[in-house]
Amino acid sequence: MAGMQFGIFSVGDVTPDPLTGVAPSEVERIRAMVTIAKKAEEVGLDVFATGEHHNPPFVPSSPTTLLGYIAGQTERLILSTSTTLITTNDPVKIAEDFSMLQHLAGGRVDLMLGRGNTGPVYPWFGQDIRDAIPLTVEHYGLLRRLWREKVVDWSGKYRTPLQGFTLAPQPLDGVPPFVWHGSIRTPEVAEIAAYYGDGFFANHIFWPPSHTRRMVQLYRERFEHYGHGSGDQAIVGLGGHVFMRPNSQDAVAEFRPYFDNAPVYGHGPSLEEFAAQTPLTVGSPQQVIDRTLGFRNYAGDYQRQFFLLDHAGLPLKTVLEQLDLLGEQVIPVLRKEFQVGRSQHVPDAPTHESLVRTKTAGRNPQKSRPADRGNSHDQVDSHQWRIAPAFLDSIVG
Amino acid sequence: MIELRPLGHAIIDAMLTGLANAELEFAFETVANADGLIAVTPAFNVSYSGLFKSFFDVLPQETLYDMPVLIAATGGTERHSLVLEHALRPMFSYLHAIVAPTGVYAATNDFGAHGGSVGLAERISKAANDFARLLRACGNRTRRDAFTEDLTEMQRLLTAASKPSEDATVED
């Protein structure tokens, strides 16, 4: 799995098929997500990520339960999230859940953090959306410590203090899961990702390339500013959004009713307008390949490409056919082509194995990261890197 | 000059999806880079037109901050002229624009066949002179950038969060 990772991210929406008016039941949708994840492994994809939602019409309220179940039925697939809500979840519970999942999945776990933009959800978990930004900073600061320090004393504004807390189970091999920070539109996310030297995932699919270019560029600049390496060594992921048939006209005709009625962008711009303004590609596998390879022109060499396939009421059968096309015709070409001209010092996508390797390969303490400078006892985090393998050391923490 | 009618579809699409197409984005940029704005709407049902309001609903936040604005409206009769004071002025005040004290309202009488437009021309001249004075007084405008402002706040929070704590207990 050297170089880039390719995967799918699912919102987990229960949407009626516009052709039949029939929506799957919750159990059908949940089981479909499992089937889709297993299919993703079968066709050679690297990652499956699920959203987290706490209100209808969405089903995945408990991502690590879903991912743990999928982990038990897969061998190779990395299980991730898109996104895990850092605001409304207790950081202690996030640390526990993902630590546990790491052990069960043999390390095939990472996660993407997000704020959550649904105001009413916050009070269901004792929080307030007006505090979303400081809440994110405080919760994530604690989460990092829980995964990196054996005994944690902590106090903050948004949860009760911790006195002599030890996480159980400890992260697998002493290596926390890699963290991505996912952003749809806000630059703060790029800043926090850069500050900690974490991955930055641009949702990408609802925005023109100019917006994504600006966000990724900002992240790379700030990553370098905070001393994690050069900008082109920052860890970038992008969303993508495709519908394919061997014949592109067939793809457009089949996808149009789903596009026109989709919950997010339906009843708005036409499919053609949306496809021109955003990364949405509806057409042949070759068109998807060409479009996706073009992302590099404005994002630079990057590490992870996700595709959104199961949404808007598309039948499971259709989604599985999309996965076949993706796995057979698109991903093998993308894997090869993205390597062409890729600079040697651009890191591969981080995996548990790579993080463990870097951790055990020895450390070269040079200077601590700004985030952890305040903590003179923290030997684990005090590393700096200039070349790709050493770069990952700091993430290992 | 930005005509809203050709942007009608784009404005509604932006409202539904949050995505502004290139033409609408260009209009946003034009407004954002202006030193002042003259905003004109027909009076519909005791207020500005829905299209006029929709444009400002999708215009990125902070765009009109500190911007001198001259408000103007047209209507079937001068009995609706207070639409300027009761609808346009509060909205632009809310958006933190600097609204010129003198607005322009033009009714059917002003366009009538009996030379009524002389009054309108005078009112336009007076409003224009007032607006020019306001623009000069306000001087060069610094464009606010929500993108950068959000970032500054995040940097402050992150730095504050990583201040050395007195009682850090860490074991590896």
Q: What is the DSSP string of A204-243?
A: -TTS-HHHHHHHHHHHHHHHHHTTSS-GGGS-EEE--BEE
Q: Find chain B residues with C-beta within 8 A of A373's C-beta.
A: 162, 164
Answer whether A206 sits within 8 Å of B18, measured CB to CB. yes
Q: What is the pLDDT of residue A362?
A: 67
Residue-wise pLDDT tens digits, A18-54: 999 999 999 999 999 999 999 999 999 999 999 999 9
Q: Pick from B106, B72, B62, B75: which is nearest to B1 by CA?
A: B72
Q: What is the pLDDT of residue B166?
A: 42
- Shortest distance between the Cα of A42 and any Cα of chain B, in A, equals 34
Nearest CA in chain A to B164: A374
Mean pLDDT of B54-78: 95
Nearest to B163 among A192, A268, A374 (CB): A374
Question: Is pLDDT above 90 for B146?
Answer: no
CATH of the domain at A183: 3.20.20.30
Residue of B nearest to A154 (CA): B168
Question: Which pLDDT value is given to residue A203?
Answer: 94
B-contacting residues in A 309-368 (Cβ below 8 Å): none
Measured CA to CA, the distance from residue A80 to residue A47 in angstroms comes to 7
pLDDT digits (tens, 9 = 90+) for A345-387: 999 999 999 999 999 986 544 444 444 444 433 333 333 333 3
Of A388 and A198, the one with more pLDDT: A198
Beta bridge partners of A243: A282
Chain A positions touching B157 (Cβ under 8 A) are 133-134, 137
Range(s) of the domain holding residue B79: 5-160
- Per-residue pLDDT, averaged over B136-143, amounts to 88
Q: Do B165 and A187 touch (CB under 8 A)?
A: no
pLDDT of residue B113: 57
- Hey, which residues does B75 pair with through a beta bridge? B107
How much of chain A, in percent, has pLDDT values that exceed 70?
90
Test mutation, A173, A241, A359, A375, chain B, max B CBs within 10 A: A375
- What pLDDT was estimated at residue A378? 38
For residues B84-88, average pLDDT: 98
The pLDDT value recorded for residue A363 is 59
Does residue B172 sit within a domain? Answer: no
CATH number for the domain harbouring residue B74: 3.40.50.360
Please check whether residue B104 lies inside any domain of the structure. Answer: yes
Model pLDDT for residues A284-296, shown as the tens digit of each residue: 999 999 999 999 9
**How confident is residue B147, by pLDDT bands cut at 50, 70 and 90?**
confident
What would the pLDDT profile of A160-190 be if each residue is shown by its tens digit? 999 999 999 999 999 999 999 999 888 999 9
**Does B167 map to a domain?**
no
pLDDT at position B142, please?
A: 83
Kindly report the number of other CB atoms within 10 A of residue A365's CB atom: 11
Count structural domains, chain B. 1
Which tokens go with B25?
């984005």
Residue B116 pLDDT? 57
Domain extent, residue A200, equals 5-396
Q: In whole angstroms, what is the distance from residue A99 CA to residue A234 CA?
A: 25
- Does position B46 have pLDDT exceeding 80, yes or no? yes
How many angstroms away from the CA of A133 is the closest CA of chain B?
A: 8
Distance CA A16, CA A35 (A): 19
Residue B166 lies in a domain: no
Residue A275 has pLDDT above 80, yes or no: yes
Asked whether the beta carbons of residue B16 and residue A151 sit closer than 8 angstroms, the reply is no
ipTM over 0.90: no
Per-residue pLDDT, B160: 86
Residue B165 lies inside a defined structural domain of this protein? no
Which residues in A lie closer than 8 A to residue B28 (C-beta atoms)?
Answer: none
Burial B98-127 (b: 16+ CB within 10 A, else e): bbbebbbbbbeebeeeeeeeeebeebbeeb
Predicted local confidence at residue A235, as pLDDT: 98
The pLDDT-based confidence of A87 (bands split at 50, 70, 90) is: very high
Q: Give yes or no for a contact between A311 and A319, defined as CB atoms under 8 angstroms apart.
A: no
Q: Which residue of A has its CA nearest to B153?
A: A188
A-to-B residue pairs, Cβ atoms closer than 8 angstroms: 102
Which of A137, A153, A278 is closest, CB to CB, to B19?
A: A278
Domain assignment present for residue B169? The answer is no
Cβ neighbors of A139 (< 8 A, separation 6 or more) are A86, A87, A89, A91, A158, A159
Query: Which residue of A lies nearest to B159 if distances are taken between CA atoms?
Result: A371
Distances (CA, A) of A149 to A13, A381, B146: 37, 10, 37
* Interface residue ranges in chain B relative to chain A, Cβ cutoff 8 Å: 9, 12-13, 16-19, 21-22, 25, 147-148, 150-151, 153-155, 157-159, 161-165, 167-172
**Residue-averaged pLDDT of chain A:** 91
Cβ pair B151:A274 closer than 8 A: no
Question: What is residue B170's three-state secondary structure?
Answer: coil
**Residue for token digits 């004792």?**
A126
Domain count, chain A: 1
Task: Determine which helix (DSSP H) or strand (DSSP E) holds A391, and give its type and residue range.
Answer: helix A388-396
Question: Of A348-357, B124-133, B155-164, which gets the smallest average pLDDT?
Answer: B155-164
| Partner-chain contact B171 A218, CB within 8 Å | no
Task: Find chain A residues with C-beta within 8 A of B17's C-beta.
Answer: 206, 264-265, 268-269, 274
- Which pLDDT tens digit goes with each residue over B14-33? 998 888 999 999 999 999 99
- pLDDT tens readout for residues A183-192: 988 899 999 9
CA–CA distance, A377 with B125 (Å, rounded to integer): 72
**pLDDT at A78 > cutoff 70:** yes
Tokens 């050297």 correspond to A2
Q: What is the pLDDT of residue B115?
A: 60
Least confident range from A44-48, A72-76, A182-186, B91-95: namely A182-186
As a whole number of angstroms, the distance between CA A167 and CA A149 comes to 9
Does A397 score more than 60 pLDDT?
Answer: no
Q: What is the pLDDT of residue A370?
A: 47
Q: Which residue of A has its CA nearest to B151?
A: A188
The confidence score (pLDDT) of residue A381 equals 37
Q: Chain B contacts of A207, Cβ < 8 Å?
A: 19
Contact residues on chain B for A192, CB-CB shorter than 8 A: 154, 158
Residue B72 lies inside a defined structural domain of this protein: yes
CB contacts of B162 in chain A (<8 Å) are 141, 370-374
Mean pLDDT score, B53-73:
96
Mutate to test the interface with A, among B17, B54, B167 (most CBs of A within 10 A): B17
Whether B170 is covered by a domain: the verdict is: no
Helix (H) or strand (E) holding A381: none
**Average confidence (pLDDT) over A218-246:** 97
Residues of B in contact with A397 (CB under 8 A): none
